[in-house]
Structure 1
């Protein structure tokens, strides 16, 4: 504590109640939460109440109890200057307190990430060498912050208290939401307070509260006003005597049970003001004690009210312009009147209650407010050390802005925006840049000419000029504002800014590089907003830079075009764009753009069939980005490399790369990137037959991918695949619906649309809805498949051919069969099969087509099994062996060979939990009188062929007619039974077969030869 604060330490506070009144239930709820946190169950509580109702007092009592239990307490308060761009203020204060209380534990928890965490707590180091700004930089910072708290709280019980959320800056709100959504371990209790009466319909905190109240892990505590009994107890404590009943009634009536108003009314009464003489205006009530202060003290209070939530003593001294003795006496009077308090760190002063501060500030005249802000700004410019370094620029920008001096304000507002960006506080950066746009026209030309582009990102400035000497153009300001809006999630605002810039470029003259930059950003925005695929805008940008000298913008445009092509239309044009992007990036020595383009190039080379070069390129990019510390790009390289390896059948290698990529993303706090690479890991685990691992990781992906919808959709796709493979049709249908809900809201790209179509088609066929399956196939292949889409197209065609083969013999399936088989065959001829995996799939499709046409030849299945045996696809191999055995039996092949094939297929089906395949192999073995377990007996004691699935002869007759598409009445007429009896038989059949409908029953009956097949 400063000497000045120490001199004031003995001042008596008269109106504050020495007795903690009421709130027993609320305090119990807080202490119970603390006990659960101490036991290792993280807690989150929101304390809500109107201004003055006693939130701070309740929190103080709770924190006193927490400290008595040996708990580490870290408190941070939101400040009103947050609206002017001071990001993360309460978290910075709380982390500072936590570091001071547990220095060793804090240092250990932050080790390796000090540069990134310095964006929250600047004392940790320099942010210059940490990850640059990008789409996932904020999420990464948040993840590291949560991990820091969890690690510190692993061995220490910690209470993180955040006060006055109604003033929270946007970045603080986002970080708090992330913390409460993801906090899963540690002895940590998070308690946040806010004014409920301030949360109007458009208050920025309102959406956050709605989100948090949906979380089962967050508990809300509402503080009601005091009852008359509680007001009586409060008065007794303040007066240290039993109050008169009339006084209790009077103050209870006037205060309406608000604890703070009770205190103010008591002071008014003790100073000789009668309650009846008080004005009905709350502001006048709050100003009563201020106006009774000595002149110098009242002046100091008014100066403090305009300086921010807390004003440092030295800054106050410079602004108030009183002698030191006079200033101390004035402060003594203000503290003694319980209007001001020493700040918790002892380095300044703040109002005891923000309501008084607001009243004093509102009472200032407009000219008086501007003058005070100018004096604050001049004092801070004269001595920047008067405030903390991380607050200096933001506060100076606020002071000059509110002093209405545009020429002084604009340069410092731009510096404050740059600082906010370096802290990944893009919402605050956006607010400051919009303020700069507001000031722009009011600033003299000579001042604007002296401004320089600050920290422009993503290929800017587009003019190719030296940012150290080139003046700041208004378009540069728009570009930075658009990027900030996009990075903080305000895409609609970003789109409006980009449109405004393009209109200016259209009317103001020729500036193709800037225009190309804006068109590229426009493309990204409309794609993200689901308003198009963005290609027309990218094409416009390419046209603008065509023929111009190489530049970073040119390289960026080509890289974006190649990336678009990689996802939407891989082929020669996209490959050429990627090669040119690499070339241009090298010419302008922009290695990050070069690495980004080379990663895209590697994927396109694989798609084009040059697998060795493509994979080697992607490995080189992965290693270089890791070496350079380009964390986001390195994580992207892990994701794309794992996907590329899977696409060529190197699934084991893909699992190794993806596992390493997941660990890398976790290590660097990239939760969104972790989701992307985790989706690829699950895909490769499915291929390798690691279904239990895939199930576990897919569910984890659903949990962590709450902010990235496409990875969440990918998890649903994989879980839907698993459910189908295990015969859980209802579960598969639920995942199909969830995946479709995700992807329908986005730009449709083949890597999502084709697998989703395959899953829907397979589900429809399994449910006996063959007509729907055929329609889905027709939709999927209508526009053909671009080069590189074969990895998604071959499984689709295999599913279609298998559905037709399984339905062969169903009368209802014959109409349209020939056309569907022709469509599959024609599409297959146009598909690439550049590696053994897809060559095997081509054989698989051909074999299923032959089976669908009654040409089930053992030789085809033998060739397929040989091809699959060399690959990492145990489930597909088991399927091929089962079909091979079936074909051999029909052709009169060797029983020993059939038995071995079925045993091998059955073993895999049992190990994987593939119930449909297991049942198929068991039934085929039973019908052939072959043992699946005995090593020697050729025949097994299988049930009679007519007893398969426990169907009686009569039920088999009914099933035959169901498979022919007969109704219950038609079945009754043919079998000379009543329709009711037919209905009972059908119900029993559905139950025994484990299916949900007649279509499924018919499909299963034909697939398993439970009824005679059609003519071969």
Structure 2
């Protein structure tokens, strides 16, 4: 049809969208960027605001993927100005809203996700007969609520995704995301059976239930299963930005398994991604992973610096749960440095946040029990009893069939939970409280 036209027309720009998406699917980012720029030029020449917005959106996405985050994000922001000001047709506005929010989730531009999800919610409310984006909108809102600590509200929002709202390809995809997000909230609250069910449902709907499912196995004490899961999905995922969602969990799980080399490699990779991306969230994840690794390497000074930077970053993003987890790392570093008072203050602050959120596993991991265990796990009790007999980390490792790194990690956790800073003090506590 275009060949029959005497001159150039705006429709050529729309046909180019197919070429642009083909380049994206094949991973040809430079080619995608070039075609997107051509689409913008055609749209501007013919005064087609919809075409300009579609091309500019994808050009921004490709630039971010190419490591030119500031340039790409500037174009994305310009596109969203056109959407929120009502310059675009409803169909294109919906496409730009959903694609841009989904993309910003992928690259951890969480402030933009929060702002534009609120705008999408208002836009959906003005489209009473629109069903194509409502399911996606609900998932986005639930994610924002989860990040902000409103876990009960997030579950309510996810529950609204009824069969009525699953018409259309976008909403069908949203069903898998909904199940996964439900699993995440359930896991964080300690409802492990319900979390398991949600992750299985997500998988049946075609949504990879990782890294949440692996973290569930870790919370259940099944470290080998957790490690197998996370290693498998990391190996299957291409290097670079797509792995940012997996690497923090990878670090946490392999540290628990005593594999410091794997954790160090994941930390380096996460740091490289953070350096390329203009993302506060990825930066926070990188610092938090470094803090945990430094603790496992018996470097409390480095752990304290990294964990404080993570905490400040999470505070800026308004992510209370992640900020509280950073404070636990800060507490552990303070304990190893002999600063028991600061350790206690950090743990109390974290405990208050975990309690308010309903994060039962985290509460139980740092709060003394009403009985005689003082918050220690079965394995930590075993380690403490052997410490109290005067055995070294090497001897304890041999007795319990663990690595020395794992024993050191258990010992750090014991110091944090008991509010002590030395083996001698831990041994005295064990004897005084009939734990040895």
TM-score, length basis structure 2: 0.75
Matched residue, 2:91: 552
Q: Distance in 1 between matches of 2:38 and 2:309?
A: 39
Residues 765 and 803, structure 1, Cα contact 8 Å, conserved in 2: yes
Matched residue, 1:538: 76
1:149-168, Cα deviation, whole Å (9 max, x unpaired): xxxxxxxxxxxxxxxxxxxx
Q: Distance in 2 between matches of 1:483 and 1:531?
A: 20
Q: Distance in 2 between matches of 1:922 and 1:541?
A: 62
Matched residue, 1:763: 293
Matched residue, 2:140: 600
1:216-255, Cα deviation, whole Å (9 max, x unpaired): xxxxxxxxxxxxxxxxxxxxxxxxxxxxxxxxxxxxxxxx
Matched residue, 2:400: none
Report the alpha carbon displacement of residue 795 of structure 1 after superposing the two structures with TM: 0.9
Matched residue, 1:721: 252
Using a 3 Å threshold, how does the CA distance of structure 1 residues 1003 and 788 change in structure 2: closer, same or farther?
A: closer
Residues 790 and 832, structure 1, Cα contact 8 Å, conserved in 2: no
Specify the SS of the correspondent of 1:474: helix
Q: Distance in 2 between matches of 1:445 and 1:906?
A: 75
Matched residue, 1:686: 218
1:490-509 to structure 2, matched below 5 A, reads: 490-506=28-44, 508=45
Report the alpha carbon displacement of residue 555 of structure 1 after superposing the two structures with TM: 2.4
Residues 720 and 736, structure 1, Cα contact 8 Å, conserved in 2: yes
Report the alpha carbon displacement of residue 608 of structure 1 after superposing the two structures with TM: 4.8
Report the alpha carbon displacement of residue 722 of structure 1 after superposing the two structures with TM: 2.8
Report the alpha carbon displacement of residue 495 of structure 1 after superposing the two structures with TM: 0.6
Report the alpha carbon displacement of residue 772 of structure 1 after superposing the two structures with TM: 1.7
Matched residue, 1:301: none
1:176-207, Cα deviation, whole Å (9 max, x unpaired): xxxxxxxxxxxxxxxxxxxxxxxxxxxxxxxx
Report the alpha carbon displacement of residue 739 of structure 1 after superposing the two structures with TM: 4.4
Matched residue, 1:578: 120
Q: Distance in 2 between matches of 1:678 and 1:1003?
A: 26
1:313-392 to structure 2, matched below 5 A, reads: none
Specify the SS of the correspondent of 2:161: helix
Specify the SS of the correspondent of 1:785: helix
Specify the SS of the correspondent of 1:521: helix
Matched residue, 1:905: 376
Q: Distance in 2 between matches of 1:640 and 1:655?
A: 12
- Tell me which protein shows more strand as a share of its residues: 1
Report the alpha carbon displacement of residue 693 of structure 1 after superposing the two structures with TM: 3.0
Matched residue, 1:949: 392
Residues 223 and 257, structure 2, Cα contact 8 Å, conserved in 1: no
1:699 paired with 2:231, answer: yes
1:28-43 to structure 2, matched below 5 A, reads: none
Q: 2:53 aligns with which of 516, 529, 532?
A: 516
Using a 3 Å threshold, how does the CA distance of structure 1 residues 614 and 950 change in structure 2: closer, same or farther?
A: closer
Specify the SS of the correspondent of 1:901: coil
Q: Distance in 1 between matches of 2:223 and 2:288?
A: 19
Using a 3 Å threshold, how does the CA distance of structure 1 residues 712 and 476 change in structure 2: closer, same or farther?
A: closer
1:527 paired with 2:57, answer: no
Q: Distance in 1 between matches of 2:405 and 2:152?
A: 47
Specify the SS of the correspondent of 1:547: coil
Report the alpha carbon displacement of residue 804 of structure 1 after superposing the two structures with TM: 0.5
Residues 23 and 31, structure 2, Cα contact 8 Å, conserved in 1: yes
Matched residue, 1:922: 385
- Tell me which protein shows more helix as a share of its residues: 2
Report the alpha carbon displacement of residue 473 of structure 1 after superposing the two structures with TM: 1.6
Q: Distance in 2 between matches of 1:475 and 1:804?
A: 60
1:930-941 to structure 2, matched below 5 A, reads: none
Matched residue, 2:431: none
Q: Distance in 1 between matches of 2:414 and 2:188?
A: 32
Matched residue, 2:24: 486
Q: Distance in 2 between matches of 1:795 and 1:513?
A: 44
Matched residue, 1:801: 331
Using a 3 Å threshold, how does the CA distance of structure 1 residues 649 and 577 change in structure 2: closer, same or farther?
A: farther
Report the alpha carbon displacement of residue 482 of structure 1 after superposing the two structures with TM: 1.7
Matched residue, 1:131: none
Q: Distance in 2 between matches of 1:722 and 1:760?
A: 14
Using a 3 Å threshold, how does the CA distance of structure 1 residues 821 and 761 change in structure 2: closer, same or farther?
A: farther
Would you say how many aligned residue pairs link Structure 1 and Structure 2?
A: 407
Q: Distance in 2 between matches of 1:1007 and 1:723?
A: 25
1:849-902, Cα deviation, whole Å (9 max, x unpaired): xxxxxxxxxxxxxxxxxxxxxx345xx635544xx79xxxxxxxxxxx5xx417
Q: 1:1009 aligns with which of 423, 426, 431?
A: 423
Using a 3 Å threshold, how does the CA distance of structure 1 residues 918 and 877 change in structure 2: closer, same or farther?
A: same
Residues 132 and 167, structure 2, Cα contact 8 Å, conserved in 1: no
1:653 paired with 2:170, answer: no
Using a 3 Å threshold, how does the CA distance of structure 1 residues 628 and 495 change in structure 2: closer, same or farther?
A: closer
Specify the SS of the correspondent of 1:592: coil
Report the alpha carbon displacement of residue 476 of structure 1 after superposing the two structures with TM: 1.5
Residues 754 and 793, structure 1, Cα contact 8 Å, conserved in 2: no
Q: Distance in 2 between matches of 1:575 and 1:626?
A: 19
Matched residue, 1:283: none
Residues 807 and 1007, structure 1, Cα contact 8 Å, conserved in 2: yes
Report the alpha carbon displacement of residue 765 of structure 1 after superposing the two structures with TM: 2.6
Report the alpha carbon displacement of residue 788 of structure 1 after superposing the two structures with TM: 5.0
1:614 paired with 2:154, answer: yes
Residues 766 and 1003, structure 1, Cα contact 8 Å, conserved in 2: no
Residues 807 and 1003, structure 1, Cα contact 8 Å, conserved in 2: no
Using a 3 Å threshold, how does the CA distance of structure 1 residues 573 and 821 change in structure 2: closer, same or farther?
A: farther
Matched residue, 1:445: 5
Q: Distance in 2 between matches of 1:685 and 1:780?
A: 25
Residues 254 and 262, structure 2, Cα contact 8 Å, conserved in 1: yes
Residues 699 and 715, structure 1, Cα contact 8 Å, conserved in 2: no
Q: Distance in 2 between matches of 1:774 and 1:582?
A: 45
1:528-583, Cα deviation, whole Å (9 max, x unpaired): 22211643223211222413375112223333454466642358634421312423
Specify the SS of the correspondent of 1:621: coil
Q: Distance in 2 between matches of 1:950 and 1:591?
A: 60
Specify the SS of the correspondent of 2:338: coil
Specify the SS of the correspondent of 1:475: helix
Matched residue, 2:364: 877
Residues 483 and 494, structure 1, Cα contact 8 Å, conserved in 2: yes
Q: Distance in 1 between matches of 2:66 and 2:180?
A: 24
Q: Distance in 2 between matches of 1:535 and 1:648?
A: 34
Structure 2: tracts of 5 or more residues without a match:
395-402, 428-436
Residues 686 and 694, structure 1, Cα contact 8 Å, conserved in 2: yes
Report the alpha carbon displacement of residue 825 of structure 1 after superposing the two structures with TM: 9.3
Structure 1: tracts of 5 or more residues without a match:
1-410, 412-439, 450-470, 666-672, 811-816, 841-870, 886-896, 910-916, 927-942, 952-992
Larger radius of gyration: 1
Specify the SS of the correspondent of 1:539: helix
Q: 2:182 aligns with which of 636, 641, 644?
A: 641
1:732 paired with 2:263, answer: yes
1:170-189 to structure 2, matched below 5 A, reads: none
Q: Distance in 2 between matches of 1:699 and 1:825?
A: 31
Using a 3 Å threshold, how does the CA distance of structure 1 residues 809 and 788 change in structure 2: closer, same or farther?
A: closer
Q: Distance in 2 between matches of 1:523 and 1:444?
A: 33
Report the alpha carbon displacement of residue 711 of structure 1 after superposing the two structures with TM: 6.0
